[in-house]
Amino acid sequence: MTMMATECLLQLCEQRYELEDYQSGVPRWCTGCGDNAILAAVQRLCRDEGLRPEKTVFVSGIGCSSRFPHYMRTYGFHGIHGRALPVAEGVRLARPDLTVFVNTGDGDCCSIGAAHWIHAIRYNMNMTVFLHDNQIYGLTKMQASPTSPRGLKSNTTPRGSTLEPLQPLSVTLGVQNVSFVAQAVDWIPETLFDIVKAAYHHKGFSFVRIVQRCPEWLPKMWDPWLHDPQRILMLKHKDGMQLSEGLGKVYKNQAQHDPSNLDRAREIASNTDLIPVGILYRNPAVPCYEDLRASRELRTTEYLRKGLEAEFDKFTVWPQ
Amino acid sequence: MQTAQKTTTTLKQHIVEIISDSGEGAQRCGQSLGAIAARMGNGIWTEEIIPAEIRPPARSVAGASGNRIRIGSGRVTNGGDETDLVVAFNEQVLLGRVRAGELQPGCIILLENMWRSNADPVIAASYAETHRRLVDAGYRVLEIPMEQECRAIVADPRRGKNMFALGILCNLYSLELQLAREQIALAFGKKDQGVVAQNVKLLEAGHAWAEAHLDFRFRIPAERSKEPQVVINGNTAIALGVLASGMEICAMYPITPATSASHYLSDVFEKVGGVVHQAEDEIAACAFAIGASYAGKCTVTITSGPGYSLKQEAIGLAVMGEIPLVVVNVQRGGPSTGQPTKVEQGDLLAAIFGSHGDAPKVVMAPSTIEDCFYSIITARRIAETFNMVVVVLSDASLATSQQPFPRPAFSESWIAPPVDQSAIPEGMKPYDWNAATGLARRFIPGQANGMHTLTGLAHDRESHVAYDAESNEESIHFRSLKLAALQRTLKTPPVFGAPEGDLLVIGWGSTQGAIEEAVASLREEGRRVSSLHVRFLQPLPGGLKQIMQRFGQVMTIEGNWSDRPGDAIIDEDNRRYSALAMLLRSRTLIDVDCWSEVKGQPIKPGAIRRVLLERLPAAMKETSR
């Protein structure tokens, strides 16, 4: 099947995608699981941005969150526990033409894959990363995770967990080369979508922590925040998230926050009583690893042959 | 200058080593000597003598750093037996080599003599005592005032002595001085002309000193090959293989002794549009490589034992997802951190059976430096043809040894094709396994109609998570079948020696040269022994059993552990066999014996010869009949 280049272009322009074009299978998450909200926001993003399904890859690790790629009708990579980020980095370096998303959970990212997380921030490769943080291991049936609050009773901490939780926002904001950090909650779909969209549009490692409910193991965990909108701190800014009038009426605890202010972002992140929602930090000037490493040459056979022969020349002893 | 009456002895081969404290340039001297001999047309095999520490204390018995060069008339396939001539910059590093049994009885020793008059009486006494003992032990010790002679040319003789020593050796082995000058110009080419000129001066001074003061010289006849030859070590060969294979990404984490391959690759890969990604750890390196391979480029990760262990889960993922991947394991001594700089063949079973569950992957082992180069090209092609993980098992000996081989003639067929972005035909599934071969088209992101989620979970042909009995068994069946499909394409390896006899020796990896040298020497004496070297370990090529059946006994020689039948509590019920012996026993049901050692050194042809002689009593009678 051949067609003219212009014809091909026309066809591409005409290509419209509907939500169904991104839907695959029936999610097997529990009713009320925050993952469903994230899936809805992401599918909407794909449709609105007209992302070509064959050019889009969702990479995940292991856990409830990591089933995500199976429910997208795009390419997906459901790998091994903790290693979603290095896999996604490999995809990104090999194929800059693909759009890369990562779905990872609090166990996957902040525990078994923590080393990769730190370094992924440093590499700052262009990908959008969703940390589905429900503060519990769900798939393995209720063990404390690094983000579980102190005192949480779980199957591995029957008398309450003994450690202070790790703060994913603080950790991310503390790493050199951080370029985008935002936070959303699964129960405010409008801001969730806005943040997902802003993350997608940032070129670099866009890290979105999504505070997520687990109706199965921690059904009441977020009730204090759900019942008291004052405990949500809405971060607004002309360069950050905008708040609709309707949401502004419900979430009255609002603050102006300039996402270019890293110190202020760190301060906000360290306040654990309130849940800040919005864009904490954005710096489009941080270079992406794949751009720093990319070859500027067209890699033809002849180009390769020349390079190889030059190396053989160095080692040829006879004849010289 | 008085010229002594010289005797010139013609030799078939000689083993020379140059040893010093770390940082005194013995490595450079040895490498140059090897290169010059190769330029003369001699066969060479050079090995590094590396202390385990970066900076061991000066004048320490365990601190010998240097190079060992076997120069031969014809092609040299291994490091040979004990050393015939050694240049030592102090007597302590020499002692280390003597104690390790590395020197031939009567070995010629050219020893720096400045220590005799050292201001520290302890050092002076130690030198005198060691010298006396060496002479008493029958070594031919020649004391040479290297430092003193060099002082006339350079302010700091510690930084020039190695080229003076090179001059002596060029004289001793009748090597052309002009070639040596050229080699120095090449080696120091990046530095300014003054450095080159000074080193040439030192070289010439050493040459002149030997001419005037030594009454002997050797000549190892050389014949220049008509084909162009390259001289590199195995790690450089692997890196060049990566370049030649058309792979574009290497993800790695530093580990001895694999790292030098990545060093070289880092230097040259970008010149052909490639990237070496130094990941944050071994697991990340493997996962990164898998991600890049999944996205359409076959990728390589280079590591050594401990790193190989860390990668196991990720390797299993590549097996499960049927993602092409090349994993190079430059084996070192194990288990655990083991002996990072020493050679061992201890990872064969881990390579084949590593990763949990049934995780079939291809395992191949290059046996020469040249083979290191071509193995990577082959590995890439197999990986992409069969959508499999291909493990290439090199080792510390191949990694650091140098040997000339014909300069490869570039072929377009080496190179990976561009990423296939053609649309997937309607109805085709991501794992449409061929019933006969288990092969399926590789789906690559960007291909229209191919959208699916690759998963490490059990899956059906559509890549949907599937826990049902049928899907699970079917997928395991087809992933395994691919090994058989590959096996059908493999050639039976040739027998070295006669096709039948009393004893067949089977080896794999870096031991080929030593085994064949031992076998050849015994065959010259009429012994009915042959050998066979296996390059593919998983799957094993066909036809092995038929060959083995034509020999009275079959045994493997390997650089890994096998129980010693002489131990009081070792018997046939508990004896642990070497890795390849174990594989061959289960594959052929033939009673394959084995002999192995784990000394951290390449197995010497002499040691193999002794072992074979022990197993060959019957052959004596037969040949005498």
> What is the DSSP-derived secondary structure letter of residue A93?
H
Q: How far does CA B303 lie from the centroid of its chain?
A: 14
Q: Which amino acid is at B231?
A: V
Identify the pLDDT of residue B619: 46
Chain B positions in Cβ-Cβ contact with residue A293 (cut-off 8 Å): 275, 277
Closest residue in chain B to residue A119, using alpha carbons only: B280
In this predicted model, what pLDDT tens digit does every residue of A190-208 receive, in sequence order? 999 999 999 999 999 999 9
What does the block give as tokens for B20? 């010093």
Average pLDDT of the segment spanning A115-142: 97
Identify the pLDDT of residue B51: 81
| Burial of A82: CB neighbours in 10 Å, binned 0-12, 13-18, 19+ | buried
Does A58 contact B at CB distance below 8 Å?
yes
Identify the pLDDT of residue B3: 53
Q: Which residues between 438 and 497 in chain B have a beta carbon less than 8 angstroms from any beta carbon of chain A? A: 445-457, 464-465
Average pLDDT of the segment spanning B221-241: 93
Does A136 contact B at CB distance below 8 Å?
no
Q: Do A301 and B317 touch (CB under 8 A)?
A: no
Identify the pLDDT of residue B618: 54
- CB contact at 8 A, A165 and A147: yes
What does the block give as tokens for B289? 């490589």
Q: What percent of chain B has pLDDT over 70?
A: 98
Closest listed residue to residue B249, CA positions, set B297, B281, B282? B297
Please count the other Cβ atoms lying within 10 Å of the Cβ belonging to residue A176: 9
Identify the pLDDT of residue A12: 61
Chain B positions in Cβ-Cβ contact with residue A311 (cut-off 8 Å): 240, 243, 268
Given a cut of 50, whether residue A157 has pLDDT beyond it is: yes
Instruction: Give pTM, 2 decimals.
Output: 0.95
- Out of A79, A318, A320, the one facing B41 most closely (by C-beta) is A318
Closest listed residue to residue A184, CA positions, set A129, A252, A123, A114? A129
Identify the pLDDT of residue B417: 86
Closest residue in chain B to residue A75, using alpha carbons only: B451
Identify the pLDDT of residue A10: 61
* B497: alpha, beta or left? (left if phi > 0; alpha if psi -120 to 50): left
Virtual torsion, Cα A88, A90, A95, A98, nearest 10 deg:
0
**Chain B nearest CA to A7, separation (Å):** 17
CA distance A191 to A169: 17
In CATH terms, A20-295 corresponds, of 3.40.605.10, 3.40.50.9100, 3.40.50.970, 3.30.160.270, to 3.40.50.970
In this predicted model, what pLDDT tens digit does every residue of B343-381 receive, in sequence order? 999 999 999 999 999 999 999 999 999 999 999 999 999
SS3 (DSSP) at A180: strand
Q: Do A77 and B248 touch (CB under 8 A)?
A: no
With tokens 């090529």, the residue in question is B541
Written out in words, the top-level CATH class of the domain with range B230-414 is alpha beta
Which CATH number applies to B7-219? Answer: 3.40.920.10
Half-sphere exposure of B286 (CA within 13 A, CB side): 27
Identify the pLDDT of residue B56: 83
CA distance B231 to B262: 18
Give A22's contacts (C-beta < 8 A, 6+ positions apart): A43, A46, A47, A53, A72, A73, A74
Q: Which residues between 329 and 358 in chain B have a beta carbon less than 8 angstroms from any beta carbon of chain A? A: none
- CB contact at 8 A, B270 and B294: no
Count chain A–chain B contacts defined by CB atoms under 8 A. Answer: 195
CA distance B308 to B619: 43
Chain B positions in Cβ-Cβ contact with residue A11 (cut-off 8 Å): none
In this predicted model, what pLDDT tens digit does every residue of B493-531 receive, in sequence order? 999 999 999 999 999 999 999 999 999 999 999 999 999
Given a cut of 50, whether residue A1 has pLDDT beyond it is: no
Half-sphere exposure of B340 (CA within 13 A, CB side): 16
Where residue B50 falls among pLDDT bands split at 50, 70, 90?
A: confident
CA distance A175 to B45: 49
Chain B positions in Cβ-Cβ contact with residue A24 (cut-off 8 Å): 451, 453
Instruction: Quote the ipTM score.
Output: 0.96
Task: Enumerate the domain spans of chain B.
Answer: 7-219, 230-414, 495-624
Q: Which residues between 268 and 327 in chain B have a beta carbon less than 8 angstroms from any beta carbon of chain A? A: 268, 270-275, 277, 279-281, 283-285, 287-297, 299, 313-314, 316-317, 321
- Out of B38, B281, B445, the one facing A57 most closely (by C-beta) is B445
Give A69's contacts (C-beta < 8 A, 6+ positions apart): A58, A59, A60, A76, A77, A78, A103, B453
Give the N- to C-terminal CA distance of chain A in Å, as an integer: 52
CA distances to A18, A91, B129, B369, B475 from B147, rounded to whole Å, are 82, 57, 20, 36, 69
In this predicted model, what pLDDT tens digit does every residue of A71-90 receive, in sequence order? 999 999 999 999 999 999 99
In this predicted model, what pLDDT tens digit does every residue of B172-217 receive, in sequence order? 999 999 999 999 998 887 778 888 999 999 999 999 999 999 999 9
Task: Enumerate the domain spans of chain A.
Answer: 20-295
Q: Do B275 and A74 touch (CB under 8 A)?
A: no
Q: Which residues between 237 and 256 in chain B have a beta carbon less than 8 angstroms from any beta carbon of chain A? A: 240, 243-244, 246, 248-249, 251
Identify the pLDDT of residue B155: 87
**Chain B nearest CA to A225, separation (Å):** 35
- CB contact at 8 A, A159 and A122: no
DSSP labels, B211-260: HHH--EEEE------SS-EEEEEHHHHHHHHHHHHT--EEEE---TTTHH
Where residue A298 falls among pLDDT bands split at 50, 70, 90?
A: confident
Given a cut of 60, whether residue A3 has pLDDT beyond it is: no
Virtual torsion, Cα B175, B180, B182, B187, nearest 10 deg:
140
- CB contact at 8 A, B582 and B592: no
Identify the pLDDT of residue A11: 63
What is chain B's alpha carbon radius of gyration, rounded to the nearest angstrom?
A: 27
Q: Do A315 and B294 touch (CB under 8 A)?
A: no
Given a cut of 80, whether residue A5 has pLDDT beyond it is: no
DSSP labels, B455-475: ESS-B-TT--B--SHHHHHHH
Closest listed residue to residue A164, CA positions, set A130, A141, A132, A135? A135
Q: Which residues between 14 and 53 in chain B have a beta carbon less than 8 angstroms from any beta carbon of chain A? A: 35, 38-39, 41
Given a cut of 80, whether residue B267 has pLDDT beyond it is: yes
In chain B, what is the greatest distance between 2 CA atoms, to the nearest angstrom? 91
Which CATH number applies to B495-624? Answer: 3.40.50.920
With tokens 């009275």, the residue in question is B552
In this predicted model, what pLDDT tens digit does every residue of A247-288 receive, in sequence order? 999 999 999 999 999 999 999 999 888 999 999 999 999 999
Closest residue in chain A to residue B283, using alpha carbons only: A83
Closest listed residue to residue B269, CA positions, set B292, B300, B239? B239
Give B204's contacts (C-beta < 8 A, 6+ positions apart): B167, B177
